[in-house]
Amino acid sequence: MRGRDVISILEFTRRELETIFEEADRMLEVAKRGADVLRGKIMATAFFEPSTRTKLSFQAAMLRLGGSYVDLPPEHLSSRAKGESLADTIRMLDAYADVIVVRHRAEGVAKFAAEIADAPVINGGDGTRGHPTQAMVDLYTIRRELGRLDKLVVGVLGDLKYGRAAKSFVLGISKFEPEKLYLISPQILRPREDLLEYLSEAGVEHEVVEDLRSVLPELDVLYVTRIQRERFPDPLEYERVKGSYRVTADILAEVKDELIVLHPLPRVDELDFSVDSTRHARYFVQASYGVPLRMALLKLVLVGG
């Protein structure tokens, strides 16, 4: 994987994902004592959209491995404010760093950056299209918490139209052998046809439903996502759908013992605080796995296996 761009989860085979997860297992230990495997390497983080987890866990991962990072400031404080093109900005990051992590509101920017830069480019989220490293974190969490990624009944709840984390997760889990995938959303946020066509062609048993309660007792994994307010072209459309689903501790009363509840975070009102103290909550441990997983990815991309 040395020198490889990370643009879409679809570019990774099951075997390659397993290699990343095995490396992440080793990184769990390495993270405690630190290492210098990336000493002398520099990562550039270029986030044109807000982030807490993705940016900071990439930066922490780099520091844990002895590397360092430079961070492009918000657009109003960089030379983008003077009219510099995105392409020239990427050229500068390429000159200063060994790997570039980019997040942008526009779809396709990570791919565009990868075409310009010689250094590997990692997609930290582009528009509604993809968030491949989040999907890796999600899959790694399931593997750690349930011990397997195959033969699971998985429910993905929320904004399946605009949510890039949900979409990448669905594509990621389809690399394994889910027993069944439930795509649960209000009608207006149902997944796009291209995703459903992909699942059909990949032979993944799936069903689009609106009612969480009807499928909840079957689930091994419930992946909750927020409504992506910032991606609605029409604010009225958001107003119509906001608050339309909410997971609380009460509705988890009849679920399987081993059910785990995941969420890429941040949450707004779709995942009640009451779930935090149930045995099913795994979303904070999921976020913590962002560091070893991204340590593994940076090591594999920058120095190889």
Task: State the residues that interact with ligand CP by CB under 6 A.
Answer: 51-54, 125, 134, 165, 264-266
Catalytic: 111?
Answer: no
- The Cα 138–Cα 152 span in angstroms is 14
Q: Which is nearer to ligand CP, 109 or 153 (CB)?
A: 109
Q: Which is nearer to ligand CP, 153 or 260 (CB)?
A: 260
Catalytic: 26?
Answer: no
Q: Catalytic one among 55, 64, 80, 103?
A: 103
Helix ranges, 13-152 (H): 14-33, 53-64, 86-96, 109-116, 132-146
Q: Which two tokens stand for residue 254?
A: 């009849």
Catalytic: 131?
Answer: yes
Phi, psi of 250 (to 5 degrees): -60, -40
- The Cα 286–Cα 58 span in angstroms is 15
Closest separation between CB of residue 165 and ligand CP, Å? 6
Q: Catalytic one among 32, 33, 76, 82?
A: 82
Closest separation between CB of residue 137 and ligand CP, Å? 8
Q: Which is nearer to ligand CP, 89 or 134 (CB)?
A: 134
Closest separation between CB of residue 79 and ligand CP, Å? 24
Catalytic: 143?
Answer: no
Catalytic: 103?
Answer: yes
Q: Which is nearer to ligand CP, 54 or 174 (CB)?
A: 54
- The Cα 157–Cα 237 span in angstroms is 18
Tell me which residue has tokens 């935090």: 276
Using CA atoms, how far residue 277 sits from 41, 250, 304, in Å, is 40, 12, 40
Give the active site residues.
53-54, 82, 103, 131
